Structure 1
């Protein structure tokens, strides 16, 4: 009788969710959609579409605009994207993640008494990736000039009315900003006054950044005058940033403030165009970038969950939350130990990790009545016909007695949720782009007179092979990042394009968004707003010395009924609560029945979409 009542409640809850009005309306479009983390940046994408650009052109314009507006990222950060090319029917991965500079070794950081690379400042910086990423995407798959695509960002750099969220971030971080002279000059125009950062609505100007963007456009236009084609001209701008006068000033400013990046590092770095990874979940092909991101972890989660009847459990029932959480924790344990830069040895066992057989073995570890704590990495090597060379490290993981129910404080949660932005674009010609650009967030250290905030992504490396033998810092190597755009295909056609901000919560929220749509029939806007859960039983990828997993620590929505809370506590979870636990996800659903697109834009803050 109790099971019938629980199932009836879950059905009623699902029906009420589907019937209720969302906080934001879904976007409907026939021609194009542009969605990102700032209203003005979405307008930049819309402007490009109105001028005849495709989804790649629009996505590049939105990335440029969000970087200029410091939407928890800047121009010195990294860009990672998935692009569906309708002419080939293929999905392309863009790896525009910076690499560790010369001198960045475990010994260097340990000599300074560090257990991790620092969170902030020049020593946290990998080489800039976003300028090269934009140029490569635009040159290879776009249709417009860099001048056209950069115009909205340049107009913003010349001066725009800053929003309260960004202005207040500058004010909160001003003591750290004052350590860096070039950042102080940009972010604190009212030094000496009670409020030293700009006020909301004040015109915020970035003259150095504007000059950097102008130089890149100048390089493109000069190349065109010399008879170069569109693609060659864009790469001339790329070259000026990484090997020309911009590079020289960036390096000078970085090293002046104690950073390690050299001119040779910038010249050596290249954007990688890759084939992404994918798994099939109940007839839907889901694509993620390679193991230099955490993206394959979501693919592992789907493989594990395919062994359970999630729909029958009911949306956000205790059994559903528990099963999804266990799959996430098992996949994160594998992520934490096995993921790293695929262009460096040792080779990651991705074939084994993403095999359906391995997922079945991991699924057997899920006790329906109890949280598995701690969840440990598995051994995927036998599933690709090999012997695991790191069993000694795995034994040290299993013997780790330091994992405990330590209190979850505000600083820890800030690191878990540390945000960026997301960019989604699609057009009627069939181009689809999903991007999670990041890095160089406030408080950022600006490199000299470039106006470019340096990335802090090097902190995602480890200094000890026991933690992850694939992700130990090394010059020229890319750190394993949390950034993870997603594309899904159904019957050979685009089905969903979605991405989210939020550090280690990204693939947790993207997984649940995907299940909301595919298992529970939610519309794309309902799915981006629907309550999720987040586990802290993983190693933090960002920030500080306290990065160890918090076994059983689970964030649930404040509206979770008491009886579900009691069941979860009985299963061994230690619960915390928030009013909003849904992402924030931005997404596009492709309505093949009507030949239209649905846009879903997060209801968390400033995320915004425009369609036509």
Structure 2
């Protein structure tokens, strides 16, 4: 029995991690918009109603399939490090790692520009139409999510005493708002309205309007506000000290979101598309390549053999992530070799009957793997308590969650065959102080870069830090099939893999596959500060088969049981063979919702 119905419609579907965003996206179809307009509208609303997980100053990878094209594109909304950012600049401050909060780890905001690029290249509606729901919620208010309220409460002292612009934005009379309380962000609403006004001043042509909006953000008043603030500000951060930032208005003016080819692989007659190795996306494909050599269907869903095989494959793929992934424009990322059948076969042979306790990257093309040191820095309890929250770069209240990362997801498909999926993140309220006059903070994705010089993910000026963000788009014979993603930081490409395997290998409907019990391994170092490494660790929902869990422990896995239905929030849209759109949303957290019509 399913917790949620799988929805089908004849016009379009939108699924996101917030019900208000899903309904806002669906309203674009009523205005004559397509799936790309719907996804953008939903994403702009999510920037307002999930401020604890993302914002306009954050980042996003977007996968898009235009009906009839037979292929997919990637819009890279991951902004690079500032030109003043270097290993030496951080070492000179006495830092061994890039802090997970504050001004120092700020990168060029990529999310807003990426959604504008999607609208320009693929959408049909005017920017004013697409931004209208977000402006309305920012101006008139929305019900505050419990996790957002918990984060604001945990940081209230910081916002009152240090990050005072954040206090003006998120506190009410110096007090944290209650869960469910109606809150607004009129400063952000003014920012959005000014962008729309500058767009419409460029004339009636929608593409010219979007170009003008892009300039307003990256060269105009938004960039000027960021530049003015960071030129003088020194704010307390995860180090416990006050530090200025490195980002400038010139850094923003020099960047625009790129349009790229995805990394792709075939699996069981389906073509799976992922963003490049500046994300962790290719680990999904590496896992599929490893697993294709096993009879997963014969093992049965939820069995010890199945879970063990998936876990051990994940360890190998993610070890390669640690050794090899990074911005391919700044290093030798051997993706072709990592996905080659001979390499995969040799790696598959490493999977034995017992749990591996070591991190084992491969040597693609004879290269020597190099794992940067994991400075496992679980700190002693901090005083004040909010400093302990800043030391952890994830968008969560540490004492209230077992999750190691979180983000958002938006996906949309229309009856014409347009399909899009994205995982917006970054620029959350815990990341950095709100920029005066804008109503949103900057993103701190720089924390994911390494200070190990020479590594593919080493920090460098103008380089994209490797991100965990990883949506997935699947075509069948060149036609749209499924687009999906989930919050979850490092776990994204394990939780979505489980969904995909339950659907493809075991024949479950997308909704049933989403609701199937979930597990992951924490064996691989985390991408957020403080980076940590827990060999053999497996986290499984309590509803997993007790006999399978016992057998995993016998094989050497250190299994921890999480609350049932607590891991992942997979969102999926797709197109059936008879042309119906489908939408499926996870019931976990009672927050993600599908809408179809």
Same fold (TM over 0.5): yes
2:182 corresponds to 1:203 = yes
**Contact 2:582/2:596 (8 A) holds in 1:** no
CA distance in 1 between partners of 2:479 and 2:69 (Å): 12
2:557 corresponds to 1:573 = yes
Deviation at 1:239, TM superposition (A): 0.4
Q: 1:187 aligns with which of 158, 170, 181?
A: 170
The change in CA–CA distance for 1:401 and 1:260 in structure 2 (over 3 A counts) is closer
Deviation at 1:181, TM superposition (A): 1.9
The aligned residue for residue 203 of structure 2 is: 224
Please report the TM-score for the alignment, with normalisation by the length of structure 1. Answer: 0.88
RMSD (CA atoms): 2.1
Number of aligned residues: 563
- In the alignment, structure 1 segments of 5+ residues that lack a partner are 1-20, 383-387, 404-409
2:237 corresponds to 1:252 = no
**Contact 2:21/2:42 (8 A) holds in 1:** yes
The aligned residue for residue 144 of structure 2 is: 163
The aligned residue for residue 442 of structure 2 is: 454
Q: Superposed, which structure 2 residues align to 1:83-162 within 5 Å? A: 83-162=64-143
CA distance in 1 between partners of 2:105 and 2:375 (Å): 30
Q: 2:155 aligns with which of 173, 183, 187?
A: 173
CA distance in 2 between partners of 1:140 and 1:564 (Å): 48
Deviation at 1:413, TM superposition (A): 10
The change in CA–CA distance for 1:259 and 1:415 in structure 2 (over 3 A counts) is farther
The aligned residue for residue 348 of structure 1 is: 333
2:589 corresponds to 1:602 = no
The change in CA–CA distance for 1:582 and 1:22 in structure 2 (over 3 A counts) is farther
The aligned residue for residue 407 of structure 1 is: none
**1:184-226 C-alpha deviation (Å, 9 max, x unpaired):** 11011221xxxx122334332212211211121111101015x
**Contact 1:415/1:543 (8 A) holds in 2:** no
2:423 corresponds to 1:440 = no
Q: 1:284 aligns with which of 245, 270, 274?
A: 270
**Contact 1:53/1:143 (8 A) holds in 2:** yes
The change in CA–CA distance for 1:43 and 1:254 in structure 2 (over 3 A counts) is farther
Secondary structure of 2:194's partner? helix
**Contact 2:49/2:142 (8 A) holds in 1:** no
The aligned residue for residue 17 of structure 1 is: none
- In the alignment, structure 2 segments of 5+ residues that lack a partner are 235-243, 378-396
The aligned residue for residue 16 of structure 1 is: none
Deviation at 1:452, TM superposition (A): 2.1
**Contact 2:230/2:245 (8 A) holds in 1:** yes
**1:45-88 C-alpha deviation (Å, 9 max, x unpaired):** 01111111000001110110000113511110012110001142
The aligned residue for residue 22 of structure 1 is: 2
Q: Superposed, which structure 2 residues align to 1:49-64 within 5 Å? A: 49-64=29-44
The aligned residue for residue 379 of structure 1 is: 363
The aligned residue for residue 5 of structure 1 is: none
The aligned residue for residue 490 of structure 1 is: 476
CA distance in 2 between partners of 1:420 and 1:128 (Å): 16
Please report the TM-score for the alignment, with normalisation by the length of structure 2. Answer: 0.91
**1:384-412 C-alpha deviation (Å, 9 max, x unpaired):** xxxx2x45x36x98xx9999xxxxxx959
The aligned residue for residue 36 of structure 1 is: 16
**Contact 1:278/1:286 (8 A) holds in 2:** yes
Secondary structure of 1:90's partner? coil
The aligned residue for residue 11 of structure 1 is: none
CA distance in 2 between partners of 1:155 and 1:411 (Å): 32
Secondary structure of 2:15's partner? strand
**Contact 1:533/1:581 (8 A) holds in 2:** no
